Amino acid sequence: MLEAVSYHVKEKKEEYLILDMSAVHSYNEEVHMGVYQMNQLLDLMGTKLVITGIKPTFAIQSAPYADFSELSLQTYATVKQALQVLRT
């Protein structure tokens, strides 16, 4: 997935990439590392990662893994909400 994302971002010169997590039902170390690596890759490419669709139960499950304090992630409840903010 990282390879496909990096190719698309490079070709399209995207300023933002929205990662919708609404279909993810459980959070574990593998998901955490995927988000972390995606953010690192996009940061190197000059693109900002925006995360949407995090449910309350998902947020609670992420507590043992989610030390994103050094990351500058933007989060929104829905993709629609993210697009409204990013378009202004």
Q: 2-86: which CATH topology?
A: Transcription Regulator spoIIAA (3.30.750)
- Other CB atoms within 10 Å distance of the CB of residue 49: 22
Q: What is the mean pLDDT of the chain?
A: 86
How does pLDDT run across 10-51, given as a tens digit for each residue? 999 999 999 999 998 777 788 888 888 999 999 999 999 999
Q: What is the pLDDT of residue 70?
A: 60
Q: What is the pLDDT of residue 5?
A: 92
- Please state the pTM of the whole predicted model: 0.81
Secondary structure of residue 33 in the 3-state scheme: helix
pLDDT at 61 over 80: no
- Domain edges within the chain: 2-86
Q: Which of 77, 75, 78, 66 is nearest to 31 (CA)?
A: 66
Confidence of residue 67 (pLDDT cuts 50, 70, 90): low
